């Protein structure tokens, strides 16, 4: 069946200009191969970012194979592809041998020399998770991850280091990824036995949301109440997995969409002749999305708990220390003393910390202009919120959104 001109161009085939000699050709649309799964939110977000770049800087023609290189291998050499973005779980060396400009999404391997590598900011993920649990007053901590997985190891190391800096130890549980060595039932029983042996109340970080959901299921087997006896936080903020968890799983949000956009931008440069010498595209961790699995405070002082809940419930309001003391039913002096003894910070610093976190969430999760965010949070104007935010974060609101926003 004969193809139309537009179909030929989309496939990267030469199409003669109308009214010209057969030796004249229109420029072809670059064919970009995508070997990225769509079964997880991270993969879908990467694809969304790639599509956004192509929409603004293309057009590109895509060959997408969510099943990976195994399914694409028979067609790859015949696609006349100009670029490829793929997960590192596939046979990356085969792609390198083809000489096609490539960007590699990291998962199971270390960074591959000579290629552009997309790497999650595992250090920031571990730090955010640790601080989230420390802020809730926990004194016992645990980490649940995978063996022989670089990003899981890094997240666990940084989490444990941050907990150690606060003066506490971390219990660790690592095993092979599901189906590699033991059945799901065996893994669940093994994890439940480990969780039962740990002191409570316990704050646990899972290396990702899948692992967090596993930990919550293991708690049910062990008879451990979440979050009353154990709080669980995951990473990557896969909303489907987090919502399937019961209770719903808190998670560290990671901006995969931005990484997809930057991957496409880098690939575009390579396809235009820039020499492929390697590089790193960081996937930034932005903030913690709090859900039911960490919605508790592991503090026995009822007055301090009331104060902390009041501060969180009024994060969008310009509350003062006196308002917090009144809500807690304590004098300002007594409340300050208890805050410093239990949380090692002042009431005012907690107000500012929670308030700043609220601004960060609004900058990342909404498209509202800074002037509207300032109005919603009770600031006199954008210059006032900018001054406040820069003092706390050492960045302007516009710079923060540019670095951590969706694109």
Distance of alpha carbon 161 from alpha carbon 123, whole angstroms: 10
302, burial (CB in 10 Å: exposed 0-12, middle 13-18, buried 19+):
exposed
All structural domains of the chain, each given as residue ranges with its CATH number in brackets, are 5-120+257-285 (3.40.50.2300), 122-253+288-294 (3.40.50.2300), 302-404 (1.10.10.60)
pLDDT at position 4 over 70: no
Distance of alpha carbon 302 from alpha carbon 253, whole angstroms: 31
pLDDT-derived band at 26 (thresholds 50, 70, 90) equals: very low
Residue 181: predicted pLDDT: 53
**DSSP codes joined into one string, 273-340:** T-----EEEEE-EEEEE--GGG-------HHHHHHHHHHHHTTTS---HHHHHHHHTS-HHHHHHHHH
The CA–CA distances, whole Å, from 3 to 31, 245, 261 equal: 17, 49, 32
When pLDDT is averaged across residues 276-297 and rounded to a whole number, the result is: 89
| Residues making up the chain, counted from first to last | 407
pLDDT-derived band at 36 (thresholds 50, 70, 90) equals: confident
What lies within 8 Å, CB to CB, of 32 at 6+ separation is 54, 60, 61, 62, 63, 81, 82, 83, 84, 85, 267
Q: What is the pTM of this model?
A: 0.81
Please tell me what DSSP assigns to residue 27.
P
Residue 253: predicted pLDDT: 94
Give CA 159 to chain center in angstroms. Answer: 15
Helix (H, G, I), strand (E, B) or coil at 183: coil
Residue 69: predicted pLDDT: 54
When pLDDT is averaged across residues 347-357 and rounded to a whole number, the result is: 92
Contact 257, 97 (CB under 8 A): no
Residue 49: predicted pLDDT: 94
Give CA 55 to chain center in angstroms. Answer: 24
pLDDT at position 191 over 90: yes
B/e letters for 235-272, b = 16+ CB within 10 Å, e = fewer, are bbbbbebbeebebbbbbbbbbbbbbbbbbbbbbbebbe
pLDDT-derived band at 7 (thresholds 50, 70, 90) equals: very low
Least Cα distance to 103 among 81, 70, 80, 77 occurs for 81
Residue 342: predicted pLDDT: 86
| Range name among 77-86, 369-378, 380-389 with the lowest pLDDT average | 77-86
When pLDDT is averaged across residues 11-18 and rounded to a whole number, the result is: 40
Residue 78: predicted pLDDT: 66
pLDDT at position 308 over 60: yes
Contact 284, 127 (CB under 8 A): no
When pLDDT is averaged across residues 319-332 and rounded to a whole number, the result is: 94
Helix (H, G, I), strand (E, B) or coil at 38: coil
Phi-psi region of 279 (alpha: psi -120 to 50; beta: other; left: phi over 0): left
Distance of alpha carbon 366 from alpha carbon 108, whole angstroms: 33
Residue 94: predicted pLDDT: 75
Rg (CA), the chain: 25
156-182 per-position pLDDT tens digit? 999 999 999 999 999 999 987 765 555
Q: What is the enclosing helix (H) or strand (E) of 215? A: helix 209-222
118 phi and psi, to 5 degrees? -100, 120
Distance of alpha carbon 127 from alpha carbon 161, whole angstroms: 9
Mean pLDDT for the chain?
Answer: 86
Structure tokens given for 176:
């092979």
When pLDDT is averaged across residues 346-366 and rounded to a whole number, the result is: 91
Helix (H, G, I), strand (E, B) or coil at 120: strand
* CA torsion angle 220 224 230 234 (round to 10): -10
Higher-pLDDT residue of 8 and 78 is 78
Residue 76: predicted pLDDT: 64
Residue 106: predicted pLDDT: 84
Residue 89: predicted pLDDT: 66
Residue 362: predicted pLDDT: 92
Structure tokens given for 322:
């006196």
For residue 342, the tally of other CB atoms under 10 A from its CB is: 15
| Range name among 26-40, 201-215, 388-402 with the lowest pLDDT average | 26-40
| Range name among 3-12, 83-92, 377-386 with the lowest pLDDT average | 3-12
Higher-pLDDT residue of 405 and 70 is 405
């Amino acid at each position: 069946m004969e193809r139309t001109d537009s179909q030929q161009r989309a496939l990267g085939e030469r199409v003669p200009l109308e009214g010209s000699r057969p030796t004249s050709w229109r420029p072809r649309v670059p064919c970009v191969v995508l070997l990225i799964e769509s079964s997880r939110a991270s993969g879908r977000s990467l694809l969304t970012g790639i599509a956004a770049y192509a929409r603004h800087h293309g057009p590109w023609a895509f060959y997408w194979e969510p099943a990976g290189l195994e399914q694409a291998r028979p067609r790859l050499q015949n696609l006349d592809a100009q670029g490829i973005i793929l997960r590192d779980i596939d046979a990356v060396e085969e792609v390198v041998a083809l000489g096609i400009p490539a960007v590699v999404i990291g998962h199971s391997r270390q960074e591959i020399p000579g290629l552009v590598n997309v790497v999650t900011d595992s250090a920031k993920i571990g730090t955010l998770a640790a601080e989230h649990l420390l802020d809730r007053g926990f004194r016992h901590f645990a980490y649940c991850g995978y063996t022989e997985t670089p990003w899981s190891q890094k997240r666990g190391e940084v989490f444990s280091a941050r907990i150690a800096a606060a003066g506490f130890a971390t219990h660790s549980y690592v095993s092979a990824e599901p189906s590699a060595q033991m059945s799901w039932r065996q893994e669940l029983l093994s994890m439940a036995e480990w969780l039962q042996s740990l002191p409570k109340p316990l704050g646990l970080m899972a290396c990702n949301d899948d692992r967090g959901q596993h930990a919550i299921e293991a708690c049910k087997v062990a008879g451990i109440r979440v979050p009353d006896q154990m709080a669980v936080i995951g990473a990557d903020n896969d909303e489907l997995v987090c919502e399937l968890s019961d209770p719903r799983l808190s998670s560290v949000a990671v901006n995969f969409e931005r990484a997809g956009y930057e991957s496409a931008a880098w690939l575009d440069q390579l396809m235009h002749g820039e020499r492929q010498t390697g590089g790193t595209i960081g996937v930034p961790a932005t903030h913690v999305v709090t859900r039911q699995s960490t919605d508790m405070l592991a503090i026995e002082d009822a007055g301090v708990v009331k104060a902390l809940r009041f501060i969180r419930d009024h994060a969008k309001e310009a509350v003062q220390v006196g308002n917090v003391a009144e809500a807690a039913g304590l004098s300002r002096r007594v409340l300050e003393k208890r805050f410093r003894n239990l949380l090692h910070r002042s009431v005012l610093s907690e107000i500012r910390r929670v308030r700043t976190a609220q601004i960060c969430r609004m900058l990342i999760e909404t498209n509202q202009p800074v002037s509207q965010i300032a109005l919603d949070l009770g600031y006199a104007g954008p210059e006032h919120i900018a001054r406040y935010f820069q003092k706390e974060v050492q960045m302007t609101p516009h710079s923060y959104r540019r670095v951590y926003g969706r694109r």
